[in-house]
Amino acid sequence: MRALGYIYLVAIFAFIFLPVIVLVLFSFQAGRLPVPPFDGPSLKWYAEVLNDRGLMEALRNSLFVALVSSSIALMLGFLAAQGLARVRLPGSVVMRGLLIAPMTVSYLIIALGLLSLFNGLGFRPSLWATGIGHVVINLPLCFAILFAAMGDHQKNAERAARDLGASELQVVALVTAPMLKPALLAAFFLSITFSWDEFIIAFLLTRFDVTLPVEIWSMLRSGLSPATNAIGSLVFLVSIVILIILELTVFRKSKS
């Protein structure tokens, strides 16, 4: 029975990670095709990828869109959560529902909606349009995480700060934000990873300047190459780095 358990454990991790391992392994392929037999290791595809101006441009675009859209989504989500947690308004529940609703809509539908809206407004597809799309998908996430993290405990500390002479701005800067730091970081980094990986909105809402997933997709159209494995491995590496930062900064602290 014990052996069966271990076999199951190995099988499930193999199932999850085998595709990634294959991807990373064949990024070190020396030949022209990322298929067995493995004839590496070689770093030549990494060299090619890093010297590809189009790819590097797309990588910078992706980072830019991720950072800017996540910052905006975080700020709007924080303000909405703070407002709805502190002030009792008529229809609070409905407003909360409407704010979270976009999470349940498929990215394709959101992308199509934004595409036709922007067309109607005469707003050309661009990185900015993609950024707006990413704010649409990440704002509900930031709102939900931050709203859940705000409790009575926090409300009382804010009241105490006001009692001791803090202005509203000081309350937010010195009490609310520091107390919510783990939730703020979690929301921000999750937004960055979602924006970084997002393809369909970026595909429909960009034209000349594209993000990395769109660039990789157009590389794939000209057939398999270890170069796509190499860029895929780099993207994976970035995600891992973000995850490790998150683990070290946010989750460790929230435990204590």
Partner 1 sequence: MTADVALQSISQSFGTFRALDNIDLSFGAGEFVVLLGPSGCGKSTLLFILGGFLSPSRGTVKIGGRDMDGVAPRNRPTTTMFQDYALFPHMTLRDNVGFGLRMKGMGRAARNAKADDMLDLVGLCDKAGRKPHELSGGQRQRVALARALAVDPDVLLLDEPLGALDLKLRRQMQDELKTIQRKVGTTFVHVTHDQEEAMAIADRIVVMNHGKVEDFGVPEDIYLRPKTLFTANFMGDINRIPAELVSAQARVVHGVRPENVGLKGDIALGPARLESAAFFGTYHRCHFRSADDRSTPYVAHLALGDLPAVDAIVPLFASHVVALRETA
Q: Assess 179 for contact with partner 1 (CB under 8 A).
A: yes
- CA quadruple 113, 117, 118, 122: dihedral sign: positive
Span near partner 1 by CB under 8 A; candidates 61-69, 72-80, 90-98, 157-165 = 157-165
Q: What's 28's DSSP letter? A: T
Could you tell me which of 208, 187, 72 has the C-alpha nearest to residue 134?
Answer: 72
CB 7, min distance to partner 1, A: 44
Span of 126-134, 141-149, 158-166, 192-200 interacting with partner 1 by CB under 8 A:
158-166
Least Å from the CB of residue 162 to partner 1? 5
Is position 159 an interface residue for partner 1 (rule: CB under 8 A)? yes
Q: Any idea what DSSP says for residue 87?
A: S
Rounded to the nearest whole angstrom, what is the least distance from the CB of residue 180 to partner 1 in the complex?
Answer: 10
Is residue 161 within 8 A of residue 170, CB to CB? The reply is: yes
Token reading at 180: 């919510």
Secondary structure class of 214 (helix, strand, coil): helix
| Contact stretch for partner 1 (CB under 8 A) within 28-36, 108-116, 152-160, 226-234 | 152-160
Q: Is 170 in the site for partner 1 (CB under 8 A)?
A: yes
Choices 77-85, 100-108, 109-117, 151-159 (CB under 8 A): range interacting with partner 1: 151-159
Rounded CA gap, 129 and 248, in Å?
33
Q: Report the sign of the C-alpha dihedral through residues 103, 108, 113, 115, in that order.
A: positive
Answer for which of 166, 224, 234, 242 binds partner 1 (CB under 8 A) is: 166
Asked if residue 72 lies in contact with residue 133, where contact means CB atoms within 8 angstroms, the answer is no
Residue 145, token pair as written in the block: 């995480």
| Contact call for residue 218 and partner 1 (CB under 8 A) | no
Q: Does 163 bind partner 1 (CB under 8 A)?
A: yes
Q: Does residue 157 touch partner 1 according to CB under 8 A?
A: yes
161 binds partner 1 (CB under 8 A): yes
Q: What's the CA angle centered on 21, arms 17 and 26, to 5 degrees? A: 155
12 membership: H or E segment, kind and range: helix 2-26
- The binder of partner 1 chosen from 111, 175, 184, 246 (CB under 8 A): 175
Closer by beta carbon to partner 1, 56 or else 179 = 179
